[in-house]
Amino acid sequence: MTDDLLKKEQMANQYAAQGKTEHAVKLLFDLIVAYAKAKNFPKAETLREKLFEVDAMALTEIIKAAEVIEEEKNIAIDRNHLDIWAELYKTLTKEESNALYFSLKTAEYGPDEVIFQQGFRNERLYFINQGQLKLIYSQSERKTLLRMVESGMIAGEDTFFFITFCTNSLITNSNVKLSYLEREDYQKWQTEFVSLASKLADYCSRLKKNYDAAGKKNFNRREHKRIAVTGPIMFQVMNASGGFIGKPFKGELSDISVGGLSFFIKTASQKNALMLLGRKINVKFRFAIGKSHIDIDRTGVIIGVINHLFSDYSVHLRFDNLLSDVVVEKLGTISHTEKEPSPEHADKAAA
């Protein structure tokens, strides 16, 4: 098929050189249709430009060729991609949808890979198709989780629409599949697809307001009275399905509130400590109250990791569900957990 198309293209060039415009136009139009149906859109676009050069007055063929290309592009768009980004695409025309989709490039990443880094430039807008990432703010030795980024979310908008350095870092929390738009392509839309550029900026602005609102809500959940406590705690990392990964580790409680807790771990590996950020974990420990006790078994997300001296790190956990006020009142009457032997299979540190 390729050889046949090449021969037809050569023939079209010969017709054009000989002044046989009508024959050249017909062959070029047929070639455009063939390449468009073969999903070779760059070639189809190139031949359409050539068609315009050969006979700018062949408006019927020029317009029809554009329609064929747009229609075939629309058919070629991945349906799963459309489902994920349905709210965005329903605001776009067919031509705008095609322009966006075919401007996007795709990439895949493994866990704990840096997509963009605080303090550096970022020239891309990221559309998360699959997987989970964490947006992290670093200040001195403190790492704070700003939010989790998942399928259907956009990242990098702060630096994409405004020329500035990244104020946070985006790091994968699992295997990730994403699409990204280069700023250079977006800038071309300022003249070619002004409406598309505006619609994308508005869409990202609305998403950012939602992200900020959610972040404020999570922040407020942490604004509860904290009670200083000490004692052993067991924690275990969980996967996206709620199952456990590896073996449990031991830590030392620092404080607790209805919204979360913090505890210390000891590890010589800073990388291992920081990899906990954004992870969902399960914690278990027991509070002794006289001859009775309260067992705490909670899941949550690690939102902060702070590096202290001598390989000590404080880990800050936000509960998925708040503790009850009754439990909190009881916690206020004690200051330490019951010292019980830890399971022999638990590690003393997250090393």
Q: What is the pLDDT of residue 293?
A: 79
Phi-psi region of 112 (alpha: psi -120 to 50; beta: other; left: phi over 0): left
Measure the CA–CA gap between 306 and 315, rounded to whole angstroms: 7
CATH number at residue 206: 2.60.120.10
Beta bridge partners of 293: 288
Q: Which pLDDT belongs to residue 138?
A: 87
Question: pTM score > 0.75 for this model?
Answer: no
Q: Are residues 124 and 198 in the same domain?
A: yes
* Residue 93 near residue 100, CB atoms below 8 Å: no
Q: What is the pLDDT of residue 339?
A: 45
Which residues in the chain come in under a pLDDT of 50?
Answer: 220-221, 338-346, 348, 351
Flag whether 256 is in a domain: yes
| Residue 343, domain member (yes or no) | no
pLDDT of residue 344: 44
Q: Taking CA 296 as the corner, what is the angle to CA 292 and CA 299, rounded to the nearest 5 degrees?
A: 175
| Domain total of the chain | 3
At residue 331, the pLDDT reads 67
Structural domain harbouring 242? 227-331
Q: Based on the fold, state whether residues 186 and 260 are members of the same structural domain.
A: no
Domain assignment present for residue 346? The answer is no
11: CATH: 1.25.40
Q: Which residues of 314-325 are buried (b: 16+ CB within 10 A; e: fewer)?
A: bbbbbbeebbee
258 closest CA partner among 223, 219, 306: 223
Would 169 be classed as within a structural domain? yes
Residue found under tokens 């670093």: 138
Last residue of a domain, one of 76, 103, 138: 76
pLDDT at 333: 64
CATH number for the domain that contains residue 295: 2.40.10.220
Q: Which of 176, 196, 220 is the last residue of a domain?
A: 220
